[in-house]
Amino acid sequence: MIKTPERSKSDASKEFAFNAHDFDRVRDLIYKKAGISLADSKQEMVYSRLARRLRATGISSFSEYLDNLECQQSGAEWEAFTNALTTNLTSFFREEHHFPILAEHIAKRKGPINIWCSASSTGEEPYSIAMTVCEAFGTLKPPAHIVATDIDTNVLATASRGVYGIDRIEKLSDERARKFFLKGKGEQEGLVRVRQELRDLITFKQLNLLADSWPLNTEFDAIFCRNVMIYFDKPTQGKILKKFLPLMKQDALLFAGHSENFLYVSDDFKLKGKTVYELASAHVANVRAGSRHPHKG
């Protein structure tokens, strides 16, 4: 076993010793597991989040904790490790300019609408998509289905419940708040619950974008992959974008985050609007036809 170096003066106040070697091991493990590329500046964040796991497991050193992870390869603690290092910043109708584009895109379509939200976090994004779909069709029961996935099981549980502090919807219009949310009373005062009709439009499931196969067998009219690619390096981004192709209808839209630019990563897409992409050319359709649904789970 590698001997743990003594603490530096800057680490003297820390509950657990945490050195550069520990940080490098964490970075290597989370990259292999989830494709997340941690910058040098994230060392304090990593310490803070994983120190909670050491306390929870009763382990007294990072080296022992990481040794145990490597021996397990999978299981509950791997899940907790991944959840701890996943950043989940979201809000209802975040990057609001995307939703009128989505509404226009789906309003002219016939038949069932299928949308994938690939980084659903605590649910605000897929519920915003669901509200947009309902408004586009003028009903709480539109011909649509939304698949909402995330690698973090904790945030998926929150998303599935659909219960939020009332402050989370304070920026919504009064009309949307009344139409899509129910206010809690008594012990539930100060909370709101997403209406059941909205929740019925969404299937939440765990999915790792780095997995060899995805449990999806649908062609989507739109895919939301917003503010998640920034955590991956460019080769990983390219692999994920390539795997989107057979899951997109020929005129499907791909929505990216405000700081993400897929044009530098892939020539399979072209820009349609502000951080909104569509398939680039006929050759992509041929690629899709030749690899139809290779990602079934």
Active site residues: 49, 150
Please name which of 52, 55, 62 lies closest in space to residue 17, comparing C-alpha atoms.
62
232: CB partners within 8 A, 6+ apart: 35, 36, 37, 240
**Cα–Cα distance measured from residue 114 to residue 101, given in angstroms and rounded to the nearest whole number:** 16
For tokens 């584009």, the residue is 101
Count of CB atoms situated within 10 Å of the CB of 124:
21
Q: Is 7 exposed, middle or buried, given 0-12, 13-18 or 19+ CB atoms closer than 10 A? A: middle
CA distance 241 to 260: 13
| Neighbour-count burial of 175, counting CB atoms closer than 10 A to its CB (0-12 exposed, 13-18 middle, 19+ buried) | exposed
- C-alpha distances in Å from residue 208, one per residue of 32, 83, 154: 12, 12, 14
First-to-last CA distance in the chain? Answer: 39
Amino acid letter, 161: R
Distances (CA, A) of 122 to 98, 128, 133, 151, 152: 19, 12, 19, 11, 9
Spatial distance between the Cα atoms of 6 and 14, rounded to a whole number of angstroms = 12
